[in-house]
């Protein structure tokens, strides 16, 4: 693991502040975060002042900043976990790393603190191999390689655009699973990174992710907002939806998605049983969402993530829009998001 | 890990004897193998008598047994690593587990001996999930589950037909990789099993595998024999070829393939540099083989592995047969194999 391929100033760490007191969170992450620029986006629903310790290079954005950029006419709601997307929107860095504010650094099997920046950087700067599965996991890792039978023509791989990290202690389960197994904790540290094969769909969790903003930034969108969505991860599916958008777009553009290391340590928060009523809605939607993303194909003319999102929004509206108004709203948000993304970029150019 | 779902008498352990002295191999495996029936197939090219210690329940098959069943007219060659397929052919058990004779039991991260039978049995008797990727690996494992966003309708999974284990110490690299990195040893124990997603192709290694013989036995075929094939793993691709056949067939029939645990400890054998001249042939073939298997589709009428193999043989002959006579011979061997498989089964019924 090294950051040889990424300069410190190519990274923005984006934190969604759903709680006002970030003191212990920031202190825990200080050894990992202190060299990098942080974007902290305060949940617009949060009224208390944020408490952030000294010693970081950071910018804080609040409701008034969001309103200033987005305006009031937007169909996009930046509240709750979705506020982090505002950070993705205004970042000007090549890479974004984002972690939930209820997570602290994990330790690996040898007891060392996991540097999520270094590992995500490694994942994003070494190639991905979506077109053939390597049974020994990441072939670019020290001590590993491509196994016998792996075609040489595929060994150079493709650019990795998205790196999905995992969670020790409280895993990212939905409310019913959490309610059924309240004592379950993830204690297994699986020392591996793998490329999720092309055309295989997966549930991307927003808890601990990193991505190449220049390549796929426009595809991470707070589009699918549940009616009963609250301030707990298991009440949201916005990351799952945008994760499937990104995966389809990566498959289309010949980019890779990795999953595995790095882990974060995730602390308990909230009562799963209280969330059950709300969560069923999101889970029912998945039964339609997954087959949709498995079958959607983008036109050859779509050669940038922005184009892909616009094309996908059309298909969402056509194929899913009738079955639930939430999907129609998601399609609108996707179109709106691309406009917003382009507007922010053109403002950057003119300043 | 448990073998609750498999009876001891449902398993055949098939060993290809490429070396006459199996004493230390058998002694190392005794704690794991002693409860099960073993089929040892002696490489027909091997002239020395086999040395096998006492204390096992086993049957040994030699060239004369092979000739007796297969006859002289066959286009299938059972020499070298391919002799194990004779064991697959004559087994009457539901599950087959096969390990190379240069492997001994591995130890897991806590230092315990790995019971490959128990782990392969677990892999084969718990469902596989090829239609959506679970980021926390095997959701049926103790302490794990399906993550948020995983559709409930896909959580019952499908039957697992093939379990591909891995290797510590000497990994299964091809000769050039081995020659370039002669000191490289795999020391990383990745504590995970995952389902390889549907439509993703992979290089199946024959070193350490298990499968449901009733479901996919006819698809494991010694079909692709290289002209310069020798007695070293990196000089062969027969397992890679039949692995891709099985994967395509599993995808077609709605069955699953898992990869990961259990590990075996693989010892050094042979000189990679000596093999380089031969091996390039197999590697060049992969450049055609992989795109072929990625695109081949089977007709809906093929509902058993036997049907699938016959259909695939037709397509191999049509699409690859012209480019290299080895492919045409592989197609012939596939057709011949299904005839042989059926003949052995009908003989079983009549006795």
The three state secondary structure string of chain B is: CCCCCCCHHHEEEEEEECCCECHHHHHHHHHHHCCCEEEEEECCCCCCCCECCCCCEEEEECHHHHHHHHCCCCCCCCCHHHHHHHHHHHCCCCEEEEECCCEEECECCCCCECCHHHHHHHHHHCCECCCCCCCCCCCCCCCCCCCCCCCHHHCCCECEEEEEEEEEECCCCCHHHHHHCCCCCECCCCCCEEECCCCCCCCCCCCEEEEEHHHHHHHCCCCCCCCCCCCCHHHCCHHHHHHHHHHHHHHHHCCEEEEEEEEEEECCCCCHHHHHHHHHHHHHHHHHHHHHHHHCCCCCCCCCHHHHHHHHHHHHHHHCCCCCHHHHHHHHHHHHHHHHHHHHHHHHHHC
Q: B48: buried, middle or exposed (CB in 10 Å: 19+, 13-18, 0-12)?
A: exposed
Rounded to the nearest angstrom, the gap between the alpha carbon of residue A249 and the centroid of all alpha carbons in its chain is 14
Q: How far is A130 from chain B (nearest CA, A)?
A: 9
Alpha-carbon separation of residue A42 from A54, A87, A149 (angstroms): 17, 10, 50
Nearest C-alpha neighbor of B124 from the set B164, B165, B166, B161: B161
CB contact under 8 A, A199 and B200: yes
pLDDT of residue B2: 44
Q: How far apart are CA A338 and CA A219, in angstroms?
A: 9
Q: Is B1 on the interface with A (CB under 8 A)?
A: no
Q: How far apart are CA A303 and CA A308, in angstroms?
A: 7
Q: Is residue A181 part of a domain?
A: yes
A23-33 vs A116-125: helix axis angle to the nearest 10?
50
pLDDT at B163 over 70: yes
CA angle A278, A182, A14 (to 5 degrees): 65
Residues in a beta bridge with A169:
A186, A266
Contact A36, A15 (CB under 8 A): no
Q: Is residue B91 part of a domain?
A: no
Task: Using a pLDDT cut of 90, give the percent of chain B over it.
Answer: 84
Q: How far apart are CA B91 and CA B216, in angstroms?
A: 13
Q: Is B111 on the interface with A (CB under 8 A)?
A: no
Q: How far is A104 from chain B (nearest CA, A)?
A: 19
Q: What is the pLDDT of residues A106-147, one digit of tens each?
A: 999 899 999 999 999 999 999 999 999 999 999 999 999 999
Q: What is the pLDDT of residues A217-240, one digit of tens each?
A: 999 999 998 887 888 888 889 999
Would you call the peptide bond into A279 cis, given omega within 30 degrees of 0 as the criterion?
Answer: no
CB contact under 8 A, B197 and A199: yes
Looking up tokens 């950071």 gives A58
Domain ranges, residue B217: 101-350
pLDDT at B168 over 80: yes
- Identify all chain B residues contacting A237, using CB atoms and an 8 Å cutoff: 148-149
Q: Is residue B15 part of a domain?
A: no
Q: Is A133 on the interface with B (CB under 8 A)?
A: yes
Q: Is residue A119 part of a domain?
A: yes
pLDDT bucket at B74, cuts 50 / 70 / 90: confident
Nearest C-alpha neighbor of B212 from the set B33, B78, B11: B11
Rounded to the nearest angstrom, the gap between the alpha carbon of residue A41 and the centroid of all alpha carbons in its chain is 15
CB contact under 8 A, B135 and A233: no
Q: Is A226 on the interface with B (CB under 8 A)?
A: no
Q: What is the pLDDT of residues B263-275, one digit of tens each?
A: 999 997 778 888 7
Q: How far apart are CA B176 and CA B182, in angstroms?
A: 10
ipTM: 0.96
Number of other CB atoms surrounding residue B18 within 10 Å: 23
Q: Which of A172, A187, A290 sits opposite B148 (nearest CB)?
A: A172
pLDDT of residue B4: 59
Contact B61, B344 (CB under 8 A): no
Number of folded domains that form chain B = 1
Q: Is B297 on the interface with A (CB under 8 A)?
A: no
pLDDT at B1 over 50: no
Q: Is residue B287 part of a domain?
A: yes
Q: Is A132 on the interface with B (CB under 8 A)?
A: yes
Q: What is the pLDDT of residues B109-130, one digit of tens each?
A: 899 999 999 999 999 999 999 9
Which of A109, A135, A185, A189 is the best substitution to test chain B (most B C-beta atoms within 10 A)?
A: A135
Looking up tokens 């299938």 gives B76
What's the mean pLDDT in B52-64? 97
Q: What is the pLDDT along chain A (351 residues), one digit of tens a residue?
A: 444 679 999 999 999 999 999 999 999 999 999 999 999 999 999 999 999 999 999 999 999 999 999 987 678 989 999 999 999 999 999 999 999 999 999 999 899 999 999 999 999 999 999 999 999 999 999 999 999 999 999 999 999 999 999 999 999 999 889 989 989 999 999 999 999 999 999 999 999 999 999 999 999 999 998 887 888 888 889 999 999 999 999 999 999 999 999 999 999 777 888 877 765 677 888 999 999 999 999 999 999 999 999 999 999 999 999 999 999 999 999 999 999 999 999 988 787
Phi, psi of B41 (to 5 degrees): -110, 120
Closest residue on chain B to A174 (Cα): B148
CB contact under 8 A, A191 and B187: no
Q: Is residue A2 part of a domain?
A: no
What's the mean pLDDT in B322-347? 94
Closest residue on chain B to A154 (Cα): B287
Q: B290: buried, middle or exposed (CB in 10 Å: 19+, 13-18, 0-12)?
A: buried
Pairing of strands A11-17, A95-99: parallel
pLDDT of residue A40: 98
Contact B307, B300 (CB under 8 A): no
Q: How far apart are CA B322 and CA B77, in angstroms?
A: 22
b vs e for A306-340, b when ≥16 Cβ sit within 10 Å of the residue's Cβ?
bbbbbbbbebbbebbbeeeebbebbbbbbbbbbeb
Average pLDDT value over all residues in chain A? 94
Q: Is residue A223 part of a domain?
A: yes
Which of A138, A149, A281 is the best substitution to test chain B (most B C-beta atoms within 10 A)?
A: A149
CB contact under 8 A, B150 and A286: yes
Q: Is residue B27 part of a domain?
A: no
Q: How far apart are CA A36 and CA A10, in angstroms?
A: 9
Q: How far apart are CA B62 and CA B215, in angstroms?
A: 26
pLDDT of residue A275: 78
CB contact under 8 A, B233 and A154: no
Closest residue on chain B to A165 (Cα): B135
pLDDT of residue A4: 60
Q: How far is A75 from chain B (nearest CA, A)?
A: 24
In this structure, what is the dihedral angle of CA atoms A124, A125, A126, A130, given to the nearest 10 degrees?
40
pLDDT bucket at B132, cuts 50 / 70 / 90: very high
CB contact under 8 A, A146 and B177: yes
List the structure tokens of A153.
Answer: 């023509």
Q: How far apart are CA B82 and CA A34, in angstroms?
A: 58
């Amino acid at each position: 693991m090294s950051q040889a391929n990424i300069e410190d100033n190519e990274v923005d760490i984006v934190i969604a502040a759903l709680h006002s007191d970030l003191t212990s969170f920031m202190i825990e992450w200080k050894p990992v975060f202190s060299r990098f620029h942080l974007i902290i986006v305060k949940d617009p629903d949060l009224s208390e002042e944020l408490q952030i310790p000294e010693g970081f290079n950071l910018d804080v954005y609040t409701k008034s900043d969001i309103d200033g950029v987005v305006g009031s006419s937007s169909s996009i709601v930046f509240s709750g976990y979705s506020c982090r997307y505002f950070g993705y929107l205004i970042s000007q860095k090549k890479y974004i790393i984002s972690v939930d504010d209820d997570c602290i650094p994990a330790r690996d099997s040898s007891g060392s603190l996991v540097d999520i920046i270094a590992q995500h950087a490694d994942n994003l700067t070494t190639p991905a191999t979506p077109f053939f599965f390597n049974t020994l996991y990441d072939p670019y890792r020290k001590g590993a390689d491509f196994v016998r039978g792996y075609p040489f023509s595929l060994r150079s791989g493709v650019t990795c655009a998205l790196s999905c990290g995992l969670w020790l202690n409280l895993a990212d389960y939905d409310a019913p699973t959490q309610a059924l197994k309240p004592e379950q904790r993830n204690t297994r540290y699986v020392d591996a990174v793998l490329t999720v094969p092309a055309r295989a769909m997966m549930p991307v969790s927003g808890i601990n992710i990193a991505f190449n903003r220049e390549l796929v930034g426009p595809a991470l969108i707070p589009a699918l907002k549940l009616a009963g969505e609250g301030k707990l991860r298991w009440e949201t599916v916005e990351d799952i939806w945008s994760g499937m958008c990104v995966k389809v777009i990566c498959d289309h553009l010949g980019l890779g998605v990795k999953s595995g290391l790095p882990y974060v340590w995730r602390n308990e928060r909230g009562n799963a049983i209280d969330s059950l009523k709300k969560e069923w809605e999101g889970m029912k939607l998945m039964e339609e969402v997954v087959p949709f993303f498995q079958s959607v194909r983008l036109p050859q003319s779509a050669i940038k993530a922005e184009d892909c999102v616009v094309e996908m929004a059309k298909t969402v509206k056509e194929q899913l829009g009738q079955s639930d108004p939430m999907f129609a709203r998601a399609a609108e948000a996707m179109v709106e998001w691309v406009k917003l993304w382009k507007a922010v970029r053109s403002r950057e150019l003119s300043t």
